[in-house]
Each structure stands twice: as C-alpha cells, then as structure tokens.
Amino acid sequence: MTATVTLAAFAADFPAQAIPEPVTERALALMVDLIGSGIRAAHAAESTPAVLAMIARLGLAGGAECTVFGLNRRYGAGAAALLNGMFGHSLDFDDTHADSSLHPSAPVVPAALAAAELTGASGAELLAAIVVGFETCCRLGMALDPTAHYARGFHPTATAGTFGAAAAAGRLFGLDAARMADAFGVAASQASGSLQFLVNGAWNKRYQVGEAAMKGLMAASLAAEGFIGAADALEGIHGFLKGYSDSADPARATAELGRRWETLRIGVKPYPACRYTHAAVDGILALRARNGWQAADIARITVGLHRNGITLVGAPLAAKRRARSIVEGQFSMPFAAAVALLRGGFGWDDYDLLGAPAAEALAERVEVVRDESLEGLRHPFGATLEIRACGETHRLRIPDPSGEPETFPDAAAAGAKFAALAGPVLNRGAEDVLRRLRGLASAPDIRVALQELAP
C-alpha cells in the first residue's frame, strides 16, 4: 500500500485500546504543556491583538462551540483551532520531535480539541485522536528529511502539521480510511509555511502553525461531507513529499507504524526559544554554575551546531547578535547565550533583555559555527561549546538538550512550568486548572469538562 493509504487507514482505524497506556499518558502531558503556553500567549504575545481583530473584522468568530484557552469567551471551531494553535506556538515554548524537527502539539492538539467539542467526544477518544495526529505529522516530517525541507525554505510544523491536524480531527469525525485519505488530499493543497519570517522576526511563524490546525480541521470537515480530495496526496508525482523536499523517503512515514510510537519521542522545552539553542544553553548554564562566572569573565563563546541550527539561529551572525524583536530573540543563539550568562536561566520574562547593552555586549562575543561532528546523528539538536573565560578555555559537548524523552520532566516539573506560564493570567488558581486538565482523560464528554474550566 502507498504511504497515503497506510497512514490514512492507521489514523482512521487503529484501535484506541491498542495504543499503549504510556503513549496516551504522554499525549495528555504534552497537551497540558501546550495549553500552559497558550494561556500566557493569549495575553502576552504581541501578535495576539492583531489576529483577534482580524477574526472580528472578517466575522470568523462563528458560534460559541469551542474553547480558546486564556480568553474569556468561546469561538467557532475554525477560529478556536487557529487561535489555540497560534497561541500555543507563540512563545516558542511548545514541544519538539527531534527526528522530524517539528512541534507536534501546536497544530494537532487545537484541531483535536475543536473536533472533540463539536462531536462531544470523550477524553479517551480525544487522546487517541491526538496520538494518531502526532504519529502522522512526526512521521511525515521524518519522511520529508528535515534538512532538505529546511533547505527548500519550509517550516515543517506548519506543513506536516496540517496533515497531523487533519488526522486528529478526522478521527474524531469518524472518517473511514477512504475519507481520511480524502482529508489528506485536501491537506496537501493547504500545507504551507515559509521560513521567510526569519528575515525580520515576523509573526508569520506563529500564525502559520495556528493556520495548520485550522486547515487540518477544515480538510477533515470537507472529507466528512463527502468532498473528494486528491489521491496519492503524499507520494504522488505532485504530492506533498515530492513537492516539499528534494530527498523525501515515503517509507519513513510508515515504518513500524503502530509498533514504534513517535509520541514517546517528543520532548518538551525548558526555554522559550528555538530548540536548536537549547543544548548550548544547557551547557552554558552548567559551566556558569560550576565556575561562578560573571558576564565580565567571558572573553569568547564558540557554539557548534548542526547545519539546521545554523540556518535557524546562527546566520546571518551579525543580525543574530542584534536581536530586537521577540521572534528575532527566539531565533538567536547569541541572544540565548547572553541571557543564560546574565540570568542563570532562560524564561519568558527574560525577553526584557532584548536590546539591553549588557546582553548585546555578550552577544558580540558569541560565534556560531557549523560542527560537522553533529551531522548524521539521530538527533540534530546537540551542540558543542568552547568558552574562553578568566584566561582558561573550557570545552563541552552536549549531545541532546534537556527535556528530551530520556530527561522528560516529571509531574512536579511540568506543573511548575504550567504555573509559571499560566498562573499570572488565570482568574482561578493554576493548580486547580492543572488538576482539571490532567483529569480530562477520564472525561465522558469533553464539552462539559472544558466548560467547567471556564472562569
């Protein structure tokens, strides 16, 4: 069978009871992590007012069927998926799947939540849909070959994420395998997302991920109404994989499908910035703590990254050293290094250092180079460090950043992240909201459960 047919059949028909419990538990933890980021971004992201005004101007709010986390009103399903996806991704604090180099939850979870509220799905059904959405977009991201996909100028969270959103929503709409393939056929025409936002720190990155959630929901809705989508949407001569990559491998999309769970390979972020900065930040923080460094002690920092990391956070280096907007800071290795050295950590509120003389002085001392020893490894997110401080040179290799599956945060650490993000803007205690979100797995009707979460 083709990749399209195989993935569609999996998304539609794989029995929920056959999904291992640790996989659904991980899906719940990732959903809660995304919601925490979304709640804060609804209030703190500078792009939020514009998108809310656009929805109002164009009359896209629709009915009041669906929850948007962080806002005191409900929206129609399409707008809710767009907003929850955009908010969840706006802080760049959402989860990452290393092998596909994409953020699975931001497109998948909002589409699944909207579809679950439309259909009155149970919590168990919601989580099964999220899992098949994760598996779909992560596997497609791997099949694209992230390096080749980036080289073509595409943002995989937005492109492959559209298919994950369609799979999750289609599952909840009850699509059979043929109709799921139609949903993929529609998604292939909608998948989009450009890396051009890197040039000026534009807000496109946030919007195109929210749009992926909405467009996946739309694709599944069209298929549910009998709309005929393009056949062979993934591997066809003009299909997604050939159109978006020069070295795609469709076999990677279906290898060990239903036996090897990519959901368990999704990591969460300890810092609100591009994942390619995280290993270096981990190393800088460790060396800073070990040596008691102050900013004045640092003569030079050389960060070695995978070439994907250079594309996103290291070049052009002169511009990366002068990050001014939050998006520019989120994609600047020099800024992230400066924050880590100045603050001994890196949280959302540390973006107050943008443009600060002390941060820019440190950023000027940061070199970012391609380290070929990080190429060809299973994960592309490692880093090497060489720091000249107090007359001595310190070297460190960090194979993987913290928060990967091997160091996935426990419930207490995840709760602390949720409270730090959502607590300042919630009208009710963050601890109570967190408890209710973690209880969604047993909810008989997601609509009722989410309405009870309203302020």
pLDDT of 455 higher than 80: no
Output the pLDDT for position 452. Answer: 84
Inter-residue contact 180 to 123 (CB < 8 Å):
no
- Give the chain's domains with CATH numbers: 3-269+414-452 (1.10.4100.10), 275-398 (3.30.1330.120)
Output the pLDDT for position 150. Answer: 96
What is the DSSP code string of 245-279? -SS--GGGGTTTTTTS-GGGGEE--SSSS-GGGHH
What is the per-residue pLDDT across 91-146, written as a single tens digit (0 to 9) for each? 999 999 999 999 999 999 999 999 999 999 999 999 999 999 999 999 999 999 99
pTM summary value: 0.95
Q: How many CA atoms lie within 13 A of 118 on its CB side?
A: 26
Contacts of 47 (CB under 8 A, 6+ apart): 86, 90, 203, 206, 207
* Total count of residues recorded for the chain: 455
Pull the structure tokens for residue 18. 């056959």
Which residue in 449, 435, 455, 384 sits closest to 42, CA to CA?
A: 455
Residue 269 CA to residue 427 CA, distance in Å, equals: 25
Pull the structure tokens for residue 75. 């929206």
Residue 304 CA to residue 415 CA, distance in Å, equals: 32
Inter-residue contact 81 to 118 (CB < 8 Å):
no
Q: What is the mean pLDDT of residues 71-82?
A: 95
What is the per-residue pLDDT across 153-191, written as a single tens digit (0 to 9) for each? 999 999 999 999 999 999 999 999 999 999 999 999 999
Residue 277 CA to residue 342 CA, distance in Å, equals: 16
pLDDT of 454 higher than 90: no
Q: How many other β-carbons are positioned within 10 Å of the β-carbon of residue 435?
A: 11
Opening angle at CA 397, ends 395 and 403, nearest 5: 135
